[in-house]
Amino acid sequence: MVVSYSGIAGRRGKNPTKIVIHNDGGSKNAKASFYKSWLENHNPELGFAHYYVAEDGTYQAEADGNSAWHCANSVGNRDYLGIEVCQSLGSESVFKANEQKAFKLAATLCKKYKLNPSVAIFPLHRELSSTDCPHRSFALHGKAIVAVKNYYVEQVKKYFGSTSSGSSSSAGSSLAKNTKPLKDGKVGDLVKVYDALYRDSTGAGRSTAKRGKQGRIKRIVANSKKYLVEDWGWAHPNDLQLIKRATGSTSVKLPAGFSKEEATFVNGDTQITTRTNKPSLKGTVGKALKPHEKVAYLGWKVSEGYTWIYTKDKRYIPVRLVGKAAWGTFK
Length of the chain: 331
SS3 content of the chain, % helix, strand, coil (to 5): 20, 25, 50
Domain 170-244 identical in fold to domain 259-330: yes
Q: Write down the pLDDT at residue 248.
A: 58
Q: Where are the domains of the chain?
A: 18-160, 170-244, 259-330
Residue 49 CA to its chain's centroid (Å): 21
- What pLDDT score does 172 carry? 37
Q: Which CATH superfamily is domain 18-160 in?
A: Peptidoglycan recognition protein-like (3.40.80.10)
SS3 50: coil
Query: What distance in Å separates the CA atoms of residue 298 and residue 314, rounded to the nearest whole number?
Result: 9
Which tens digit of pLDDT belongs to each residue from 62-94? 999 999 999 999 999 999 999 999 999 999 999
pLDDT average per 10 residues of sequence, the chain (331 residues): 74 93 92 90 90 93 93 94 95 93 95 92 93 92 89 90 40 67 89 89 81 90 84 91 77 80 86 94 94 90 91 92 83 73
**CATH fold of the domain at 170-244:** SH3 type barrels. (2.30.30)
Can you give the pLDDT at residue 165? Answer: 38
Please give the CATH topology (third level) of the domain spanning 259-330: SH3 type barrels. (2.30.30)
Cβ contact 271:288 at 8 Å? yes
Q: What is the spatial distance between Cα 93 and Cα 54, in angstroms, rounded to a whole number?
A: 12
pTM score, whole prediction: 0.52
